[in-house]
Amino acid sequence: MENLYPTFDKMLPREAKESLLKQKGIVVWLYGLSGSGKSTLANLLERKLHEEGRFVKVLDGDNVRSGLNNNLGFSDEDREENIRRVAEVAKLFAEGGIITLTSFITPVERLRQNAREIIGSEDLLEVYVKASFEACAERDPKGLYEKVKAGEVKNFTGKDSSFQEPENPDLIIDTEAQTEEESLQTLYSVVAGRIQPD
C-alpha cells in the first residue's frame, strides 16, 4: 500500500512487554455453535488467570459486534471481515504480552485458516468447544434458538448457515461430556503450559 510507513522496528520489543508482565502473549481462539459454552469458558478462564496475577483480555463475539464491528452483518463477506478484524486485534494484544481469549462461532474452516494466517501458529491455541445443535438449543442461554424456531433470526449457524466440524484443532472441549468445571480445568491446563515465561 502506498504512503504507509510502518514503524514496528522502532517500538519496544515484545520480549520487554512479556518480561514486564511475567507471561507469554497468546491467543486462545474458542469457537463452536452459539450456546456451546465458548463465552462461559472464556470468562471463567479470565477470572482464574486474573486471580493468579495474569493480564488477560477477552474478545467476545457479541461485545465486539456491538462496538468495533457494529457495521457488519452476517453475510459470508461480513463474517469474514469480522474474523479478520478480530484476528488482527488479537495479534496486537498477543504481541503486547497479553493472554487473549476470543469467543467467536467461526463456523467454517476458511475463517479459521484466515485467523491462523494472521495470528501465526506460534501464538494461536485453537480450541473447538463442541456441543450438538440440539444441546445448544436446549441450553439456549440468549433465547436465540427460540427466535430461530419462530423465524425471527436468519442465517443462523447450524440451521440456515452451515457449521463445519474442524479437522485438526489444538484442543477439543466437549461441553456435553464434561461439566463446566471439568471443561475449565481441561482448558486451563493447556493454556497454563503455554504462557509460562522462559
- d(CA 57, CA 107) in angstroms, rounded, equals 22
pLDDT value at residue 8: 66
State yes or no: pLDDT of 185 exceeds 70. yes
- d(CA 181, CA 183) in angstroms, rounded, equals 5
State yes or no: pLDDT of 152 exceeds 90. no
The position carrying cell 478480530 is 86
φ, ψ for residue 26 (rounded to 5)? -155, 155
State yes or no: pLDDT of 44 exceeds 80. yes
Convert the pLDDT of each residue in 165-177 to its tens digit: 998 999 999 999 9
Reference 65, options 95, 104, 12; nearest CA is: 104
Convert the pLDDT of each residue in 48-73 to its tens digit: 999 999 999 999 988 999 999 999 98
Convert the pLDDT of each residue in 95-127 to its tens digit: 999 999 999 999 999 999 999 999 999 999 999
pLDDT value at residue 112: 96
Q: What is the DSSP letter of 12?
A: P
State yes or no: pLDDT of 31 exceeds 70. yes
Q: Are 57 and 93 in contact (CB under 8 A)?
A: yes
pLDDT value at residue 114: 96
Positions of E strands within the chain: 26-31, 56-60, 99-103, 124-130, 171-174
Q: What is the CATH number of domain 16-193?
A: 3.40.50.300
Rg of the chain over CA atoms, in angstroms? 17
pTM of the model: 0.89
